[in-house]
Structure formats: structure tokens, C-alpha cells
Amino acid sequence: MCVSQINLANYACGRLAPSPASEVLNDHEHKHGHGHKHRHRHRHGKFAHETPAQSCCRWLDNVDNECVCDLLIHLPAFLSKPAHQITVVIGEICRVKFSCSGRVRP
């Protein structure tokens, strides 16, 4: 279950631009260089008009604390042992908090 939650959040948040785009692109067409284009489908339904940031926030909000904490156990011990809270900030759109109790690697 954790793998699918992390993958969905990663996919949604991976669509966010790291900084403002340097060129203005048509809403339905994004240039990828090398002379080819990628077109987006028109979606209809509940999340059709959701921005990439809103989508990222929605999927991050659905990730269980345990999934995030299980990932953190692979970090150096000083980052994974103490109980802590992690806050992911997506611009002005949202703040998603994950709480982890202290853990030791098995």
C-alpha cells in the first residue's frame, strides 16, 4: 500500500515546476525540446480543473504517516531516531504534516 501511495504523490508532485517557467506555453501543449510536443487530454470530472499544486497536495494528504516514517528509517540515524514532524510545503497552496515516532533500524 505504501508504494502506491508514494508513487501517486511522487507523480502528482513531480509535475510541479521547480521555479516559474521562463517561457509562456499554450495550456494544452508543452514543449520538451528535440522538436516534439506533448499534448494533454481534456479531462472531465471531479478533478478536471485541479492545478498541479492542488493535485500534489491532495495526493500528499493521502499518504499515511507510517509510509513516510518507513522511508525515513533509511536516513542517517540522527534523522530517523528522534520523534519528529515533517512538514511538506507546496507554495501558498498547502502544508502537509507527517508525524514519526523515533525508530531504530531493524
Q: What are the residues whose beta carbons fall under 8 Å from the beta carbon of 14, sequence distance 6 or more?
A: none
Compute the distance between CA of residue 99 and CA of residue 106 in angstroms, rounded to an integer: 20
Residue extents of the structural domains in the chain: 1-15+50-106
CA neighbours closer than 13 Å in the CB half-sphere of residue 85:
5
Walk along the chain (106 residues) and give the pLDDT tens digit of each residue. 899 999 999 999 999 987 554 444 444 444 444 444 444 444 445 556 899 999 999 999 999 999 998 888 888 877 666 788 889 999 899 999 999 887 665 5
Reported pTM: 0.64
